[in-house]
Amino acid sequence: METGVSTVGEESSTKSERRSIAIIAAVPIVLVAALAAGLVIIRPTLLSRSPGSGGPEVVRASEITPSPVNGVDVTGLYKEFVCPCCGQDIGSCECGMAEERRGVVDQEIAQGASQDQVYRAMFQAYGDSAFFDQNLVEQVRADLLAELPEDRAVLVVEPAEIDLGTVPMEEGSVAATFAVRNDGQSDLTITSLYTTCGCTTAVLETSEGSSPIFGANLEENPSDWSAVLAPGEEASLVATFDLTFHGPDATGEFRRAIYVVSDDPLNSSLDVSFVVEVTK
């Protein structure tokens, strides 16, 4: 009798184990089917950027969204914007600047923005150089200008590029100076500068003195500085290139960009660049 009871218990236990295994095996199949049907959307995790670390205040994304959100193909949208450090699209580059720009896109979409609204946000945050398609830039600019007040502050940085010519490495460093001006009718507040490579630093020289030194590391850039330019007032942006930064064999042409961040409601960030030929 005892043997018979033991056999029935073992069979019952075996059937229970088989049912559990079958349920566990079915879970991935059900999940895949739900993803394919669009019933489940995996969204990126959004992380706050440390305030005042240079560049516009944004929310970063730690993952790329694989599924459309609000009818917008997020990964496709990344391909429309340029990473300033390398010229790739921001979905392909893994640097901090690309991550920051992906964060702007992700934040806008998480708030229910349409594709056109994302374009506007990116233009206002990073200017026309953020886009591959310059025809799209002109359309976005025209739409924004039609809505902005005429008495706004207007950030101007010029020239767009300076050619420093050929410079021997033994000189150590070379500098380019740009004019920064408020062409608007309201005070303009400049809140940050940043560069696209550790070889380049930048300062802003105003009537009140010189700013702290800014570089390419957004997390280490000064966070407690600003400068105000009255309508018509001009300052000097001085960018310094370290000729030896990339090593004794780093010769040839170098092109670097510098960004000026302000409260201009049309373009809160404008960039200029310099090019230099480094020789031994």
Angle, vertex CA 100, rays to CA 96 and CA 106, nearest 5: 140
Q: Which residues pair with 173 in a beta bridge?
A: 242
pLDDT, tens only, 163-219: 999 999 999 999 999 999 999 999 999 999 999 999 999 999 999 999 999 999 988
Domain boundaries, the chain: 46-145, 155-279
What's the confidence (pLDDT) of residue 129?
A: 87
pLDDT tens digits along 243-277: 999 999 999 999 999 999 999 999 899 999 999 99
Residue found by looking up tokens 């507040």 in the block: 189
Helix axes 134-145, 115-126, angle to 10 degrees: 90
Q: Virtual CA dihedral for 199, 256, 153, 49, nearest 10 degrees?
A: -60
What stretch of H or E contains 77? helix 74-78
CATH number of 155-279, picked from 2.60.120.650, 2.60.40.10, 3.20.20.60, 1.10.357.10 = 2.60.40.10
Contact present, 202 and 241 (Cβ < 8 Å): no
Tracing tokens 């150590």 back to the chain, one arrives at: 172
pTM of whole model > 0.75? no
Which of 111, 54, 110, 112 has the alpha carbon at shortest distance from 268? 54
Which architecture characterizes domain 46-145 according to CATH? Answer: Orthogonal Bundle (1.10)
Q: Is the pLDDT of residue 11 over 60?
A: no
Q: What is the residue type of 236?
A: S
